[in-house]
Amino acid sequence: MRKILLVILDGMGDRPCPNLGGRTPLESAATPNMDRLAREGMTGLMDVIAPGIAPGSDTAHLALLGYDPLEVYTGRGAFEAAGTGVDIRRGDVAFRCNFGTVDGLMKVIDRRAGRISSGTAELATVLNGMRIEDVEVIFKEAVEHRAVLVLRGPDLSSDVTDVDPHEVGAEVLSSTPLRPEAQKTARILNEFTRKSYELLKDHEVNVRRMEEGKPPANIAMARGAGSPPDVPPFSELHGMSGAAVVGISLVEGVCRVSGLDIMDVPGATGGLDTDLGQKVEATIRALGTHDFVLLHIKGTDICGHDDSPETKADFIAKADAALGRLIEGLGDLEEDIVICVTADHSTPCCVMDHSADPVPLLVWGKGLRHDGVETFGEHAAAHGGLGKIRGKDLLNILKGQAGRAEKYGA
């Protein structure tokens, strides 16, 4: 059985760009490594969700990990929570939170507590680990004023309204249940909100802030309740261990909820300045210990959203060079691996957003079939031997090529 490396260039798929002589960024970029894999392997196009559907990065990654998003997706909330590094389990309810500033009557003075940038870890510590009734409270700070709240316990529901009033001058809201079974969750969330004010208002971090004339971060306001999708862990579903090297927290959240091990990558920023060398190192390390590794690179998507075809092409060329170093670094494993390079969706520069255009795809492995397509690009891949596939079938195809498919029947 071979190992599997799945390289996702976020939003790489594009349309003909007038600035690039009618080629797409991928077609315009110098990509000797992807071209070699395409030439020696099979190519095709992929509707990541379904024909005519513009995928989000979360639903797309669910599909690429072999889950059917149309069946299991429950919204972005739990993925964003998991993306901060909090371990989210089935049955949990997760919220995005803001540290905010309220007056003594619970009226919002600043929804972001002056975009507080330090001290939130200490503030989070006093909220984390609290118990309310039979529910455990997990609370973790994120970037700036942002944080994540997870409620863990029996009979919770994500059908509750926000506490965050979303406007300055308004009072902090009382969460209400959207259906009777959510009554307990709303009650616990309201109790948590009340307690957060009690525990934070005189906290030394806030005393110091007030001395400095800054608004205190004296409340945690939750919004966007979400539950993780009810999916079997990746290793159970696919019979192999998996790890992920990811560029952004939303995708990290999907991978974490799916049970992949998240590799720690110093220097990975999720931007165009990300340290691709470090990501390559982490990927090679992960392949040493796992059967399946997902390498996710974000920069391409950013260029699509910004309508920067030249920058997108440059970044694709850099990613290709990194892929070259990765393949070199495989050593003997090169004989014994299946590599797939594709995207989670198209972000055409002319659209400046995710589109429903299918993404190009290559599947390569020593001794596998090839299809006569000579380069890797959207137009060439339309004639590839893999034809047009659906995202949720990809991992099965890769497992088949890696000798990991189970025989169905006798």
To a copy of itself, the closest distance from the beta carbon of 301 in angstroms equals: 12
Nearer to a copy of itself, 213 or 409 (CB): 409
Tokens standing for residue 237: 């579903």
274 near a copy of itself (CB under 8 A): no
Stretch that binds a copy of itself, among 109-117, 286-294, 299-307, 374-382 (CB under 8 A): 374-382
x/- site string to a copy of itself, residues 12 to 31, per CB under 8 A? ---xx-x-------------
Distance CA 247, CA 234 (A): 20
353 near a copy of itself (CB under 8 A): yes
DSSP 8-state code for residue 375: S
350 near a copy of itself (CB under 8 A): yes
Nearer to a copy of itself, 274 or 355 (CB): 355
Nearer to a copy of itself, 179 or 408 (CB): 408
To a copy of itself, the closest distance from the beta carbon of 163 in angstroms equals: 21
239 near a copy of itself (CB under 8 A): no
To a copy of itself, the closest distance from the beta carbon of 148 in angstroms equals: 15
To a copy of itself, the closest distance from the beta carbon of 347 in angstroms equals: 11
To a copy of itself, the closest distance from the beta carbon of 160 in angstroms equals: 20
Helix/strand/coil (H, E, C) string of 146-195? EEEEEEECCCCCCCECCCCCCCCCCECCCCCECCHHHHHHHHHHHHHHHH
Phi-psi region of 385 (alpha: psi -120 to 50; beta: other; left: phi over 0): alpha
Closest among 100, 92, 81, 204 to 142, alpha carbons compared? 81
224 near a copy of itself (CB under 8 A): no
To a copy of itself, the closest distance from the beta carbon of 104 in angstroms equals: 37
Q: What is the dihedral of CA 11, 14, 18, 20, to 10 degrees?
A: 70
DSSP 8-state code for residue 21: T
CA distances in angstroms from 298 to 12, 65, 70, 272, 294, listed in the order given: 9, 17, 24, 8, 13
To a copy of itself, the closest distance from the beta carbon of 28 in angstroms equals: 14
Single out the residue of 19, 39, 54, 191 in contact with a copy of itself (rule: CB under 8 A): 54
169 near a copy of itself (CB under 8 A): no
230 near a copy of itself (CB under 8 A): no
| Sign of the alpha-carbon dihedral angle for 271, 272, 273, 274 | positive
Stretch that binds a copy of itself, among 3-11, 155-163, 311-319, 376-384 (CB under 8 A): 376-384
| Sign of the alpha-carbon dihedral angle for 161, 163, 168, 170 | positive
Strands of 337-342's sheet, edge to edge? 261-262, 242-245, 292-297, 3-9, 337-342, 359-364, 42-47, 387-390
Phi-psi region of 94 (alpha: psi -120 to 50; beta: other; left: phi over 0): beta
Footprint of a copy of itself (CB under 8 A) = 15-16, 18, 42, 45, 49-60, 69, 73, 76, 79, 250, 350-351, 353-357, 367-372, 378-379, 382-389, 393, 395-401, 403, 405-410
